[in-house]
Amino acid sequence: MQLYQEQTLRISNSLTGKKEIFKPINEGHVGMYVCGPTVYSNVHLGNCRTFMSFDMIFRYLRHLGYKVRYVRNITDAGHLVDDADEGEDKIAKKARLEKIEPMEVVQRYTVDFHYILDQFNFLPPSIEPTATGHIIEQLEIIKEILKKGYAYEVNGSVYFDVKKFNEKYEYGKLSGRKLEDMVANTRELAAQSEKKNPQDFALWKKAEPQHIMRWPSPWGDGFPGWHLECTAMSTKYLGETFDIHGGGMDLKFPHHECEIAQAEASNGHSPVNYWMHANMLTMNGKKMAKSTGNNILPGEIFSGDNDILSKPFTASVVRFFMMQAHYTSILDLSNDALLASEKGFHRLMDAIDNLKDLPTAEVSNFDIPEWRQKCYDAMNDDFNTPILIAHLFEGVKHINLIKEGKEKITAADKVLLQQTINDFVFDVLGLEHKTESNQDSNKLQGVVELLIQLRNEARSNRDFATSDKIRDQLSAMGIQLKDGKEGTTFSVS
C-alpha cells in the first residue's frame, strides 16, 4: 500500500480555476513538466522561488510514493528580448555584448543555475533537456501544424495562425482571455510585420545573416520560436497528454497559452490535465526588477552583500522563509521577514536537536497520529506549506513541554514524532539542518570556486600574472589547485 492510496491530494488547476482531486493518467506514476530558465544571466531570487515551489511539489509527490518523471528544460535558444517575436535572441545578445560564443553564455549560466539550486538543496529533475538539443523534434511539430492548416509560411518564417485555430479550438482558455477582446485591444500590426494578425506567434524565425544561432529547415536557415521547445520536449518525454505542467504566473500568457495551441493544433487534444502556476516574489513591497534596482541575487543573501540586508542568511533560512507562504500567494522579501524566519527556523532546529533525548513514559499527552494526519491534510490541500509549518510548530511546542517535564510521550509515539519531523521538515520541505562547521566548509568551497572561476577568466584573457597570483597565494594558504580534463579541482592540506 502506497501513501497516495491513503491520502487524497487536491491541486488548484489554473485551467479550470478549481481545486481538483489529483488523479494521474497512469496509476502510481506522475509526469510533470516545468518551464526552466533562459540561461543568459545569473538566476535571480524570484526565479528560485518558482523552481523551489515545484521542487517542494516534486518532493511531496515522491513522498506519497509516486514514481515521478520531472522534466525541467533549459532554454538555450529562441527566447527573444521582445515577446512579440521581434528583437534579438536573449542569449545571442549577451554573447555579442560579452564577445563570447552563445554556447559559452549558456554554459556559464547553466553552471550558475545548478550551483545556486544546489545551495538551496533542490533535487535534480529526472530529465533536463535543452531547446538546442531538440531542433529536429521542433521542426517535426511545425510540419504537422502546417499540414493541419494552423500555420503559414512567410519569407522563411513560419507563424501560428491564432484566428484559424480559434475557429475550432479555444485560444485564451488558460489565461481567461477571449480572442475578440485581444483583437480589440491590440494596435495595428507594424507595417513591416509578416504576421496576418498581431496575435499570431512565431514557430520558426528566419535567421538574418548576422544571426549566429541558426539551423537548416525546409524554409531556410532559422531558429525555433520560444514557445515551441516546451511543446516538443514535454511531448517527447511525457507524451501527448501528461499530468502536471508548471511554471511562473508570468508564463501563463502568452507562453503557456501558445503551448496549448501548438499541442492541440498538432495532436488534436489538450496536452495537460493540471496546470499549476507559482506566484512571484516581491521585495520591500515592490516588484523585483533589474531595471529599478529593486532586485537581489541569491549570492547576495548568502553573503549579506546588499543594502537591504543587515546580515547574511543561510540558504536553509531562505528556503524556510519561502515555504512559509503558499506557492500561489505573492511573497514579500524584506530584512525583517528574513530575520523572523531565521528565528523560527532555529526554534524548529533546536526542537529537532532536543527530540532525540526526550524521556519516554507510559502515556502520551499529545495525539501524535492525529497530528501527523493534520500535516498530511495541509499538504493534501494544494501543497499548503504555511499550514504544514503551523502544525510542525504545534509539534515543537509539545517537544519543548515534554523536555521540561510538563508533558509525557510513549516510546512508540516518540518514534512516530521523529518520523513525521523527518518526513516533512527534511524530505518534503527540503530544509537542511547544518552545523556551523559544515556551513563554514560550504563557505570555503564557495570562495575557492569563485577564485577558480576568476582565475579561468584571467587565463582566457591571457592575464597570466593574475591567474598565477591566485594559484600561488592559495597554495601558500595550503589550498592546492589541480587542473584536469574536467576542469579545476582543489584540495586543502
Alpha carbons within 13 angstroms on the beta-carbon side of residue 391 total 23
User: Among 263, 288, 265, which Cα is nearest to 275's?
Assistant: 263
Q: Is 230 annotated as a binding residue?
A: yes
Direct distance between the N- and C-terminal alpha carbons of the chain, in angstroms, rounded to an integer: 51
User: What is the pairing mode between strands 29-34 and 242-248?
Assistant: parallel
Q: Is 195 annotated as a binding residue?
A: no
- Please choose, out of 28-36, 136-144, 335-343, 461-469, the segment that lies near Zn ion by the rule CB under 5 A: 28-36
Is 263 an interacting residue with respect to Zn ion (CB under 5 A)? Answer: no
Q: Is 44 annotated as a binding residue?
A: no
Comparing CB distances to Zn ion, the nearer of 252 and 319 is 252
3-state secondary structure 386-437: HHHHHHHHHHHHHHHHHHCCCCCCCHHHHHHHHHHHHHHHHHHCCCCCCCHH
Alpha carbons within 13 angstroms on the beta-carbon side of residue 67 total 6
Q: At what angle do helices 257-267 and 226-238 cross, to 10 degrees?
A: 60
Cα torsion 255, 257, 260, 266 to 10°: value is: -80
188 dihedral zone (left: phi>0; alpha: psi -120 to 50; beta): beta
Least Å from the CB of residue 58 to Zn ion: 17
Least Å from the CB of residue 255 to Zn ion: 5
Least Å from the CB of residue 196 to Zn ion: 24
Comparing CB distances to Zn ion, the nearer of 230 and 425 is 230
Residues near Zn ion (CB under 5 A), total: 2
Least Å from the CB of residue 233 to Zn ion: 9
Q: Is 326 annotated as a binding residue?
A: no
Residue with cell 600561488: 472
Least Å from the CB of residue 35 to Zn ion: 3
Comparing CB distances to Zn ion, the nearer of 231 and 380 is 231
- Please choose, out of 31-39, 78-86, 329-337, 342-350, the segment that lies near Zn ion by the rule CB under 5 A: 31-39
Tell which positions 217-256 bind Zn ion, by CB under 5 A.
Answer: 230
Task: Out of 30, 35, 95, 213, name the contact with Zn ion by CB under 5 A.
Answer: 35
**Burial class (CB within 10 angstroms; exposed 0-12, middle 13-18, buried 19+) of 167:** exposed
- Please choose, out of 35-43, 97-105, 425-433, 463-471, the segment that lies near Zn ion by the rule CB under 5 A: 35-43
Q: How far is CA 287 from the centre of its chain?
A: 18
Comparing CB distances to Zn ion, the nearer of 55 and 407 is 55
Buried b (16+ CB within 10 A) or exposed e, 335-365: eebbbebbebbeebbebbeebeebeeeeebe
Distance CA 175, CA 277 (A): 11
Q: Is 35 annotated as a binding residue?
A: yes
Least Å from the CB of residue 240 to Zn ion: 16
Least Å from the CB of residue 230 to Zn ion: 3
Q: Which residues are annotated as a binding site for Zn(2+)?
A: 35, 230, 255, 259
Which residues lie near Zn ion (CB under 5 A)?
A: 35, 230
Q: Which residues are annotated as a binding site for ATP?
A: 290
Q: Which residues are annotated as a binding site?
A: 35, 230, 255, 259, 290
